[in-house]
Amino acid sequence: MATPSTETASTSTTSTETASKAAAFWLASPGEGELRETAIEAPKSGEVRVKALYSGISRGTESLVFHGRVPESEYARMRAPFQQGEFPAPVKYGYASVGVVEAGDAHLQGQTVFCLHPHQDSYNVPAESVRPLPKGLAPERAVLAANMETAINGFWDAEVTLGERVTVVGAGVVGSLVAYLCSQLPGVEVQLVDINAKRALFAQRFAMHFATPEHAKAGQDCIIHASGHPDGLACALELAGPEGRIVEMSWFGEQPVTLPLGGAFHSQRLTLRASQVGQLPTRMRPRWDYARRLDLALTLLQDERLDALISGESDFADLPHRAAEIFSAESGVLCHRVRY
């Protein structure tokens, strides 16, 4: 891995405070991460200083970023809040930070909060960018909040109704969370499908049916695809019943996708639609904003059984040395938690 280097964050020309130091994880080049030292001033009016406790690594989007596979056409749309640098690299990326407010807004000082911020041990952000954790939510589990937001959007886009047969293809963090949400509706029969039979353990916790693709039940009302692999989407098409709907939650980056649309896709009048967390569904926009959705995500993480989705933890100082392993295709990691 590259050796640590130094970068200077933007500062206020009117500040008389001495800059303090923080460390941030940067992708120096595709496949190579490093910790960089950054200077941060005292919080300005309307800002808070957050001391990180944990952050979460999402193997979906963050894996594509780490390997430099963000399509050039998506550089602007895929920017994370508070990202620095540009794709493919060098870039500071990430969006699942939990910490304690140690300076700034008096109403927030001392509170444990979630923020859509890259992996960094201390940072300043506008006060409205942090969301206090609900009472009783463990900070260790709150790193799943960004994934839960994505799952909420997928659930809304799927428009699941009472009594439906729903299949989620891909038992990663997002797929498992959207399956969890669907299972809360009365009468809904949820099937979780994954090529890794070990993922059955999560399904068993919530009384869901689990199957590998070759044993999955067909004739489903709604299939939500979240495996990130073209074969998973082809599986979703095969499992749909007549007039069934398929919701695509995976982001493939630069990977081309070929689909078997010459089979039953047309004769069964199937519907394929995209779901992406960057936009609220049209019908929700008059009443919902991103802050309300994030508050909902944090509230929905109260269930301690969701800890099963955090499959490992390591120190922030070790992240440059662990990143390649975490993001490798063979790792089997769900959500990896970084401890500060």
Is the pLDDT confidence value at 226 over 80? yes
Q: Which amino acid is at 232?
A: G
* Residue positions counted in the chain: 340
Tokens 């992240």 map to which residue? Answer: 319
pLDDT tens digits, one per residue of 83-120: 999 999 999 999 999 999 999 999 999 999 999 999 99
The structure tokens 């896709």 sit at: 265
Q: What is the pLDDT of residue 4?
A: 44
List C-alpha distances in Å: 335 to 114, 137, 331: 16, 17, 11
Looking at the domain covering 147-282, what would its CATH class be?
A: alpha beta
Please state the domain extents for the chain: 5-141+307-339, 147-282
> The domain at 5-141+307-339 falls in which architecture?
Alpha-Beta Complex (3.90)
Q: Which of 257, 292, 289 is nearest to 274 (CA)?
A: 257
The per-residue pLDDT for range 145-171, each reduced to its tens digit, is: 999 999 999 999 999 999 999 999 999
Q: What is the DSSP string of 125-191?
A: EEGGGEEEPPTT--TTTGGGHHHHHHHHHHHHHHT--TT-EEEEE--SHHHHHHHHHHHTSTT-EEE
Q: What is the mean pLDDT of residues 267-274?
A: 96
Q: Please tell me the distance from the alpha carbon of residue 103 to that of residue 329, in angstroms, as a whole number.
A: 40
